[in-house]
């Protein structure tokens, strides 16, 4: 803990000497100009949810991104494979991308309610296939648990589904989530975060290669705006506890569930998540050899084919 404190305070001190030209405000302005809000704002309970849309006709498909990401993650991976036949709705989770953050947004129940609200507005009277990647898989599961009337099926991509013992919390998330030092610490993040993440993107995809231009195409720079970084940190910090409670309900799932899991995922441990989900609910598990945490990139067509099959099949549950 002492070493982490020294690192954080050193970063704060170093940042102070870099001058106003590298301020977090300047970074935010520059980044939002590079990656503008190009979707629709949907009002859910008085808070806007930013939704990117692709396709004008067909069954609805809602896509929910993971931690440290935003809706652009799907705009160049899965949406182009589906937009001819489906209405693809890619939502920024609360506090991410360009979505507002309601009270208690770090809880899975609130996150799921915001996503369900998108379906109530943009897919009224229809059931949707809900796709969730990583953290978004936990939110997708909660939508299906709380609002099964809105869901026809789930497609989960390297999902985090269960509590894992609380390990794995990065030191910078502990600092950023802190009510005491979080606001000040998050002002520093734009000065050091982007370069660190760009250098480490390959670890998320490993053993698959990272796609060229991933950082830009997915708008990862939006994460390092101070408010977004704090939102992400607060989400991650309570996720273990939230999943401990949510996972007790998986026996209630009443819709078809397909899970894509990379056998070499180094971001999460499939044995602590997907394997446990399989013991509680009937799922169609697709294990991808030599694949990491981002299966919708190299295996995008397989994922799209599964979405298509579930969307067009008659309801069986």
Confidence at residue 317, expressed as pLDDT on a 0 to 100 scale: 54
Quick check: 167 pLDDT over 80? no
Report pLDDT digits (tens) over 172-216.
Answer: 898 899 988 988 889 888 888 898 888 789 999 999 999 999 999
Confidence at residue 1, expressed as pLDDT on a 0 to 100 scale: 37
**Going by CATH, does the domain composed of 24-162+188-312 fall within 3.80.10.10?**
no
Confidence at residue 180, expressed as pLDDT on a 0 to 100 scale: 87
186 phi/psi in degrees, rounded to 5? -70, -20
Report pLDDT digits (tens) over 101-160.
Answer: 999 999 999 999 999 999 999 999 999 999 999 999 999 999 999 999 999 999 999 999
Where do the domains of the chain lie?
24-162+188-312
pTM of the model: 0.92
Mean of the per-residue pLDDT values for the chain?
91
Quick check: 10 pLDDT over 70? no
Confidence at residue 13, expressed as pLDDT on a 0 to 100 scale: 42
The contacts of residue 2 (CB under 8 Å, 6+ apart) are: none
Report pLDDT digits (tens) over 57-66.
Answer: 999 999 999 9
């Amino acid at each position: 803990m002492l070493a982490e404190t020294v690192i954080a305070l050193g970063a704060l001190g170093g940042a102070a000497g870099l001058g106003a030209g590298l301020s977090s405000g300047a970074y935010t302005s520059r980044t939002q100009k590079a990656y503008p809000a190009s979707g629709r704002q949907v009002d859910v309970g008085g808070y806007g949810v930013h939704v990117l849309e692709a396709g004008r006709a067909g069954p609805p498909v809602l896509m929910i991104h993971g931690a440290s990401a935003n809706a652009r993650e799907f705009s160049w991976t899965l949406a182009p494979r589906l937009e001819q036949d489906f209405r693809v709705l890619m939502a920024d989770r609360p506090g991410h991308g360009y979505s507002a953050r309601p009270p208690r947004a770090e809880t899975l129940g609130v996150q799921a309610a915001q996503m369900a609200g998108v379906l109530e507005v943009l897919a009224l009277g229809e059931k949707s296939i809900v796709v969730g990647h990583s953290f978004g898989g936990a939110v997708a599961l909660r939508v299906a648990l709380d609002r099964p009337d809105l869901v026809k099926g789930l497609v989960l991509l390297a999902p985090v589904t269960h509590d894992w013992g609380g390990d794995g919390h990065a030191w910078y998330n502990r600092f950023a989530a802190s009510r005491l030092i979080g606001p000040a610490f998050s002002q520093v993040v734009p000065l050091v975060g982007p370069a660190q993440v760009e250098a480490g993107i390959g670890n998320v995809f490993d053993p698959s290669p990272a796609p060229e231009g991933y950082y830009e195409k997915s708008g990862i720079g939006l994460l390092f705006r101070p408010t977004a970084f704090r939102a992400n940190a607060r989400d991650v910090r309570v996720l273990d506890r939230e999943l401990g409670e949510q996972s007790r309900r998986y026996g209630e799932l009443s819709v078809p569930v397909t899970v894509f899991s990379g056998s070499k995922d180094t971001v999460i441990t499939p044995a602590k998540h997907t394997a446990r989900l399989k013991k509680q609910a009937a799922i169609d598990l697709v294990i991808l050899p030599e694949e990491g945490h981002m299966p919708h990139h190299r295996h995008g067509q397989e994922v799209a084919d599964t979405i298509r099959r579930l969307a067009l099949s008659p309801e069986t549950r």
